[in-house]
Amino acid sequence: MLAASRAAADLPVGLLLRAVAFYPGCTGAAKNAIWSPAVPVQILIGESDDWTPAQPCHELAARYPTQVRLIDYPGAYHDFDAPDAPLRMRYGATATGDGYVHLGTNEPARQDALARVPRLLETGGLESR
């Protein structure tokens, strides 16, 4: 989502109005000095996500405070919004040293996201926690 919502000369005007990114990999955009958002971006991420860590997303939100808003969920992992998914480990993630990551539902985060995303899409206003 971050790659699709970046500012680019060939992006048709009006193609994107706003973007919502669930647990994106923000590392590439955070390290790229010329990356900038073409539209307002709302990021929802678990603070405990060990697959796509929250810290690079915090860096983007700090760099673009009017264009990137971050909603972080304490204690939530990757796939926090999946319905009824028990917390489990997955092997094979290349983003981690040992290949293991946590996945699973965090019901308070899921419920917040289910309420927050429609508001964003209807109003276009980025929200902060």
Kindly state the tokens that stand for 106: 């965090």
Output the pLDDT for position 7. Answer: 58
Mean pLDDT of 109-128: 86
Mean pLDDT of 39-60: 95
Output the pLDDT for position 76. Answer: 98
Residue whose pair of structure tokens reads 């009017």 in the numeric block: 66
**Beta-strand pair 88-91/100-103:** antiparallel
**Beta-strand pair 88-91/68-73:** unpaired
- Inform me whether the pLDDT recorded for 90 exceeds 70: yes
